[in-house]
Amino acid sequence: MSEASPLRFAGVDVGYDDGPVVRGADLLVGAGRVVGLVGPNGAGKSTLLRAVTGAAGILAGDVELCGDPVGSLTERQRARLVAVVPQSTAAPFAFPSFDFVEMGRHAHLPPLGGPGERDRRVVEYAMRRTDTWRLAAERVDTLSGGDLQRLVLAQALAQEPRVLLLDEPVSHLDLNHRLQILDLVRELADAGLAVLAVFHDLDLAARYSDELAVVHEGALGPAGPPRAVLTARNVSEVFGVRAVIGTDPVTGSATVTPVLRDEAVAPTRDQEVFVVGGAGHGARLLRSLALAGFRVSCGALELGDTDQAVAQAVRARHVTLPAFGSPDPAALSQTETLAASADIRVVSATPFGRGNIANLRAAVRAGDPLVLVGGMGPRRDFGDGEATALWREALDAGAVAVDDDDGALAEVARVLGGSADVPYR
Amino acid sequence: MPVRGPRSAVTLTVALGAALAVAVVAGVALGAVYVPPADVVAALGRSLGAGSGPGGLADALVVDIRLPRVLLAALVGACLAVAGALYQAVFRNPLADPYILGVSSGAGLGVVVVIALTAGATALRPGVVPLGAFLGAVGAVALVVRLATRRGRVDGVSLLLAGVAVSYTLAAVTSFIMVLARESMASVVFWMMGGLEGASWEYVVAVAPMLAIGATVSLLVSRQLNLVLLGDERASELGLPVERLKTLLLALASLVTAAAVSVSGLVGFVGLMTPHAVRLVAGPDHRRLLPASMLAGALTMVLADLVARTVLAPVEIPVGIVTAVLGGPFFVWLLVRGERPR
């Protein structure tokens, strides 16, 4: 017999006296998992959490904690299974931090008794774990927001729960405190806690959750891996924002970048610039040229490459390759067409490898006008020296070498007329 | 900022206990006729059968008149302080107090109704007067809570406004009944202003068990009372059956308010002042705040009654006037200091 999952929503309508806020919610939060809820304000994310603790009504279906419907549990039984870290806490009067955290032990104490030695050990452990032990004698109402929120987390841990509910626990905190608290939550989950968290920030949601689910228009979407849920299409439908889904270079988690308004990148000129980029080195050129009103195009770019995301965002014509793929003959010929039909070609200071060497080849073959960023040779050549050879060939054929993107933009403006001087912060 | 913790609370409690003992002796010694403290202690010893020697007039004065009065003052003060501390916690409102919330007026109305109804059966009164006071207090607090509830939540400012409104209305009804039943109300008029001059051992025996219940139960749940300060939702998340506990606490507060009102009429501000003053030293933890507040309330009432008896001796002024003279400015000070209802 497998153990019941710590938290389960089974066909639940949640809401208040005036009717359901979210209908038909199904969700499973397993031990050791962090499940994130995302969605616009007022969609009912918090209401879902509050249904677990009885603060919001369960109008249909069942919310189960470790196999028992929450409605069948007393406050006390429930508080031994599930703890909450609310968005913010009104610091009450002048309790010492230790006593405040000790309040988390309530559900474990005899109704008319006080805390004992084991309770004090649990409190100390919770405070050490949240790095608040040093504040034990300080008054709660004198603490900073970050310390107070960690103290509330300690109070929740003192409950020794199986399930932790977080309602935008870090929204109003400084960046460093956000990461500290969420890192700790991640550790706690890795140690077996089941976590259901409402996130305001999509990047943090993707970074810390095993699964995400979208709450939108009174429904809870299916939970899935962050990258499967945070698609450009979902973000656009749910938040009404066009976004580029990228990859955090450090954590590898999905990032969501809302992009420029459509009208901002609508071309105002007929001339087209072909940009050879890769790994983000073409990003600035693409953005500046598009905002200056030029049509822009790229060659083949891998899915997930920053320049591919930027190209998509600024509506640059390009060929999308699968990640780590090489262009097939069709992609090659499309690239050649794009390079040849442009009025000018700019090669950014990107390293060259299997994925983008074809773009350089196409740009050089298409001939003048051609601008090379990075001086007398390609920045790095992961090919068999082909990039270096192509670079030399281009210079011999009269290509203009410039030091940096500014130089390239000035050269484009000189050749095509007008200005491509768009501020880049 | 370090916490003023258990140690200062213990010191305060011991100091308050000692001060109360001194105040009781002083309260018995001082008055229209001075009885030296040594004689007071000797008379108390004799009355407990612990000593021997001649008794006489001084013993009668001490044991039959002054002592029940001083003890009654102490009991009433403790009742009001417990009630104030409980109301302040349940409503999370620093300005709550049985007098301001109209609970005292409700209890007063209950008393007057009972007296009017038992005009021909005065023997029943010791039993039914406290009951009438209790029903009046419970009715008043229920009405005030209902009036102050906005979208399922008791609003702080509305609570005070509702308290004032209910208080005035019930006081008017009380006065009206007193006018209608003038003959049986002669003694009630003075009582309404808050006075202890009717004190007797009978009253002491009537109030003591009610205070004992109120004090014992509230001390038993004092740890839970701390959780109530976190707000209903948070307290529930931590495993507290909030609604049940609050109902119990309001019933207890109404019980001790009724006990106080049924023997001493409307004495204001003791329930407001003493928990506040104690909190400044002992901190907000009810496990320490409640006992210290009881002692402080008892001390305040004993001293206020002493002033009421001696300042214009041999004429007595109602003790409610003394507490109002102290409490009115205190209330204003709290407002100016920025204690706002939440």
**Judging by beta carbons within 10 Å of its beta carbon (0-12, 13-18, 19+), is residue B119 exposed, middle or buried?**
exposed
**CA dist., res. B126 & res. B133, Å (int):** 12
Query: Mean of the pLDDT values across residues B286-314?
Result: 92
Residue of A nearest to B228 (CA): A92
Chain centre to alpha carbon of residue A120:
38
B69 touches chain A (CB under 8 A): no
Helix (H) or strand (E) holding A14, with range, is: strand A7-16
- B238 touching A (Cβ < 8 Å): yes
Residue B181 reports pLDDT greater than 50: yes
- Torsion angle of the four alpha carbons A187, A190, A192, A195, in this order, in degrees rounded to the nearest 10: 70
Cβ-Cβ contacts under 8 Å, B241 against chain A: 74-76
Whether chain B has a CB inside 8 Å of the CB on A79: the answer is yes
| The pLDDT of residue B17 is above 90 | yes
Q: Do residues B245 and B221 lie in contact, with contact meaning Cβ atoms separated by under 8 Å?
A: yes
- Percent of all residues in chain A with a pLDDT value above 90, rounded to a whole number: 38
Q: Which of B238, B242, B342 to mutate to test the interface with A (most CBs of A within 10 A)?
A: B238
pLDDT in tens, B227-258: 999 888 999 999 999 989 999 999 999 999 99
Secondary structure (3-state) at A250: coil
pLDDT at B60: 77
Cα gap A70→A7, rounded to integer Å: 10
A203 CA to chain B: closest CA distance, Å?
Answer: 29
Cβ neighbours of A152 in B, within 8 Å: none
**pLDDT at position A1, please?**
39
Question: Is the pLDDT score of A415 beyond 70?
Answer: yes
Chain B contact present for A224, CB below 8 A = no
Please report which confidence band the pLDDT of residue A91 belongs to, taking 50, 70 and 90 as the band edges. Answer: low
- The answer to whether B237 contacts chain A (CB < 8 Å) is yes
Q: Å from A206 to nearest chain B CA?
A: 27
**pLDDT at residue A372 tops 50:** yes
pLDDT value of position A261: 65
The rounded mean pLDDT for chain A is: 86
Q: What pLDDT score does A92 carry?
A: 59
Closest CB to B223 among A78, A114, A155: A114
A127/chain B closest Cα distance in angstroms:
17
Which residues 136-195 on chain A approach chain B with CB closer than 8 angstroms? 137-139, 142, 155, 159
Rounded to two decimals, the ipTM of the complex is 0.85
pLDDT at site A359: 84
Mean of per-residue pLDDT scores for chain B: 85
Q: Judge whether B120 is closer than 8 Å to chain A, CB to CB.
A: no
SS3 B127: helix
Q: Do B223 and A142 touch (CB under 8 A)?
A: no
What is the per-residue pLDDT across A293-346, written as a single tens digit (0 to 9) for each?
888 888 888 776 778 878 877 888 888 777 666 778 888 888 888 888 888 888
Give the pLDDT score at A233: 82
Judged by CB atoms closer than 8 Å, whether chains meet at B284 and A89 is answered as: no
Q: Which residues of B touch A107 (CB under 8 A)?
A: 238-239
Cα B10 to Cα A383: distance, rounded to the nearest angstrom: 81
Computed from CA positions of residues A336, A340, A342, A346, in that sequence, does the dihedral angle turn out positive or negative?
Answer: positive
The residue-averaged pLDDT of A70-92 equals 88
Q: Does A93 touch chain B (CB under 8 A)?
A: yes
What percentage of chain A exceeds 70 in pLDDT?
93
User: If phi over 0 gives left and psi between -120 and 50 gives alpha, with beta otherwise, what is residue B265?
Assistant: left
Total residues belonging to chain B: 342
The 10s digit of each residue's pLDDT in A238-284 is 887 777 787 787 888 888 887 766 656 677 788 888 988 887 788 88
Name the residue in chain A with its Cα closest to that of B223.
A114
pLDDT tens sequence across A92-120: 568 899 999 999 999 999 988 889 999 99
Q: Does B229 lie at the interface with A, CB-CB under 8 angstroms?
A: yes
